Structure 1
Amino acid sequence: MHSSSENDTKGFDKQKQILVAVNLLCESDERRKTYQVIVEDVQARHRGLFPHPGLFDFDAVESAVTAIYNKMQDARVSPDVSSLLQDLYDVVDVAVATDAPSVREPTARYDLSNIDFSRLRAEFEKSPFKNVVAMNLMEKIEERLAAMVARNPTRVDLYERYQEIVQEYNKDKDAAEIQKVMDDLFAFNDDCSEEEKRYLREGLDSETELAVFDLLQKDSLTKGDREAIKKVAKDLLGKLADQRFALERLRSMATVQAQMKAEIIKHLYAHLPASAYDPDEINIKAGAVFAHIYSAGLGGGTPVYH
């Protein structure tokens, strides 16, 4: 008969091996996705053959590949990395402990919505499973970035910078390069936070106003022109908040789309600095503003901003 401590040790060893496997699979996005496809195919075949008696001989293998798959999915879909880090620290604590303490201090959990990322970075550096942590961070940052670009399409430079970090991560790399990728991810996340506050630095009331302001900008504007464009953005959004441009009407009725386009062009021709914009530029800017409002659903409301 096995003691409870022996069973616990075996359980922790199994969890450690699962995490080691996940860490290896997360060395590149391609490797992770390939494993995911293979396991989903295996699971489908297993279901198709059940309850064939010959399947029982492969239960241990099926359980192992599924456990690795599930842990990898947990790392991707968890709302933050708290649970994942808890697992990692539990495994590390057991692996390095020489004597089991009678009372174990609880390991701190982390909430990415209010944690100091410099502190979190320091905690990550203790983890032997950096690939898992990096992949998890990329998943969360990608979700955040997608929402940011939806709110403001001029943030394409942020998206391009993120793709460069991902490409660097997917290359063959040593521990030092993994650390650099993680540092880049943290720095990128900090920049995202700064970008989300930029509307305040511009003296605007919302990211909605910032998006329209950014779409109307061009090179070589004077300070006075920029301030004038901020007012143009505010006033235009005020006009387009009219319920006649409600999202359901805008998306379903060509006449409402035409009316909104006309309203935008009329407003820009009347209020953009005449010395800074020629008619062709105004038409292009009007098209860009309409396209964003239509895709983001800003007519008569701001769905994408909630």
Structure 2
Amino acid sequence: MTPKEIKSAQGLGKAALIGEAVEKLIATDEAKREYLAKARAVSRVYKAILPDRSSTEFTADAVLVSVLAERIRSLMPRPDISAIMQDVEDLLDRSVAPIPYETPEDAEAIDISQIDFDKLRAKFDTGKQRTEAERLRALLSQKLTAMVARNPTRAEFLDRFQKLIDSYNSGSQNIEAFFRALVQLAEDLTAEEQEAIREGLSEEENAVFDILTKPEPELNEKERDQVKAVARDLLQVLKDEKLVLDWTKKEQARGAVRQAIEIALDRGLPDAYAEDVFNKKCDILYRHVFDAYQTGREGIYAAA
């Protein structure tokens, strides 16, 4: 397959060739980064010679390079606004020229819990394997970022995800093993999200409960129920009385939140908590509340 073949193709044939080209360009993270860097350079040079009439000689090539770069970026995690501001060239690439190309299918984010993993595996086996792995990787990256923000005890999943990527990039895993590991991680995340339901807690109550119980201490069923009650009662007190407007910016308000946490844990936690464990839990829980509820009583859970 050559650039000339892609440019001369029409309709679905062109879309298929673009897909095959992307599959080759994303063989590794290094190859992907190298292509995107070169695509930005092509875009800059092309724009530099506009509106000179001689630029028309290079229009089709510049468009193809830009479209391939856009297709690759569509497979990656959505950037935050700071990333967009640092790389405005990516946005400018979209206006290189008016030649229409088909947009990537299934580009929108999907809910992991709605994934049919059997169909996903079948699509991988019969389709463009690197492209499917890249899509799943991007989805997991977004999902994990949100999950860890809402419950810091899930950081182990993020660490596991990064190790998978490092292993694949180092050549320790082929694309099939990498994809299978990503699917297993996605299935485990789905099971993790069901934990709050199993425990009879809301997501934010479950975050407090996890902080208080993971990785220690070991608790019996009665003690676990005590901790669940602490999680519910503490959140209620914080929301009703302590999480006032701009509380993170006011020393007195921050102190009141910290004190409320310490009082609730001291009164409600079972005797299984040694002093050092108790102090550690107070610290971690305060940091979680500070990070998760900066915008007020609903915090990052409002979107749920």
Residue of structure 1 in register with 2:67 after alignment: 67
Residue of structure 2 in register with 1:42 after alignment: 42
The whole-number CA distance in structure 1 between the counterparts of 2:157 and 2:42 is: 38
2:150–2:292 contact (8 Å) kept in structure 1:
yes
Matches within 5 A, 1:226-305: 226-246=224-244, 248-273=245-270, 275-297=271-293, 300-305=296-301
1:236–1:267 contact (8 Å) kept in structure 2:
yes
Matches within 5 A, 1:114-153: 114-127=114-127, 129-153=128-152
Change (3 A) 1:173 1:153: closer
1:27–1:170 contact (8 Å) kept in structure 2:
no
Alignment-mate amino acid for residue 144 of structure 2: L
Query: In the TM superposition, what is the alpha-carbon distance from 1:113 to its structure 2 partner?
Result: 6.0
Alignment-mate amino acid for residue 70 of structure 2: N
Residue of structure 1 in register with 2:165 after alignment: 166
Residue of structure 2 in register with 1:156 after alignment: 155
Residue of structure 1 in register with 2:23 after alignment: 23
Change (3 A) 1:211 1:138: same
Q: Do structure 1's residue 182 and structure 2's residue 179 form an aligned pair? A: yes
The whole-number CA distance in structure 2 between the counterparts of 1:222 and 1:292 is: 25
What is the TM-score when the length of structure 2 is the normalising length?
A: 0.79
Residue of structure 2 in register with 1:106 after alignment: none
Alignment-mate amino acid for residue 262 of structure 1: Q
What is the TM-score when the length of structure 1 is the normalising length?
A: 0.78
Query: In the TM superposition, what is the alpha-carbon distance from 1:260 to its structure 2 partner?
Result: 0.5
Change (3 A) 1:304 1:259: same
Q: Which has the higher contact order (CA 8 A, sep 6+)?
A: 1
State the Cα deviation string for residues 219-248 of structure 1 (Å, max 9, x = none): 3333332221111111111111125413x3
Change (3 A) 1:111 1:220: closer
2:246–2:294 contact (8 Å) kept in structure 1:
no
| Secondary structure of 1:242 counterpart | helix
Change (3 A) 1:172 1:16: farther
Q: Please, which runs of 5 or more residues in structure 1 have no aligned partner?
A: 1-6, 88-109
The whole-number CA distance in structure 1 between the counterparts of 2:122 and 2:48 is: 47
Alignment-mate amino acid for residue 208 of structure 1: E
Query: In the TM superposition, what is the alpha-carbon distance from 1:115 to its structure 2 partner?
Result: 4.1
State the Cα deviation string for residues 83-113 of structure 1 (Å, max 9, x = none): 74579xxxxxxxxxxxxxxxxxxxxxx9866
Mean alpha-carbon deviation: is it higher for 34-43 or for 230-239? 34-43
Change (3 A) 1:228 1:280: same
Alignment-mate amino acid for residue 138 of structure 2: E
The whole-number CA distance in structure 1 between the counterparts of 2:132 and 2:255 is: 48
1:148–1:155 contact (8 Å) kept in structure 2:
yes
Q: Please, which runs of 5 or more residues in structure 2 have no aligned partner?
A: 1-6, 79-102
Identity of aligned residues (%): 29
